[in-house]
Amino acid sequence: MPTTHAAQILWVAIIAAGLFGLLKGGPAERIGAGATLLISIAFVIVNELVAETGRPVPHLVLDGLLALVFLALAVRYASLWIGAVMLLQGVQFSLHAYFFVTKLTPGVTYAIVNNLVTWGTLLGIVLGTLAYRRHASAASAGKPITPAI
């Protein structure tokens, strides 16, 4: 489990954004938030059960799965937030692939990029959920609907 304050704050944000997307979002936001929560939990499980030398492949697979989920969402729903998060997940997958192929030990650069991508993904889920709620409330009030993010 996360032991630093920064990691604990990130976990609170992952859970908060995930629950917000699951409870208040539309179909795309729910799928994206649910997948992000599940993959994040899977990362913790892998980190607890697998030796450090055996983690790169499961990490790569998990990142690939999350990237594929957002790719499918981008194809299906074609919204700005999903496209941005899909690109961020591509960066995340590339980061893990680069460190896997070069056999480099993750350091500060890895941690910074990894955390920025995670924060960007969470921001995308929250903004997408807020846009969905704005869109849904305008539709129910009979107001003209502006495109959602």
Would residue 60 count as lying in a domain? yes
What is the extent of the structural domain holding 20? 5-140
Q: What is the dihedral of CA 32, 38, 39, 44, to 10 degrees?
A: 150
Would residue 146 count as lying in a domain? no
Q: How many domains does the chain have?
A: 1
Would residue 147 count as lying in a domain? no
Q: What is the pTM of this model?
A: 0.86
Determine the pLDDT at residue 134. 84
Structure tokens at 139: 């539709």
Would residue 122 count as lying in a domain? yes
pLDDT digits (tens, 9 = 90+) for 45-93: 999 999 988 888 999 999 999 999 999 999 999 888 899 999 999 999 9
Determine the pLDDT at residue 27. 93
Q: Of 10-19, 23-32, 104-113, 115-124, which gets the smallest average pLDDT?
A: 104-113
Would residue 148 count as lying in a domain? no
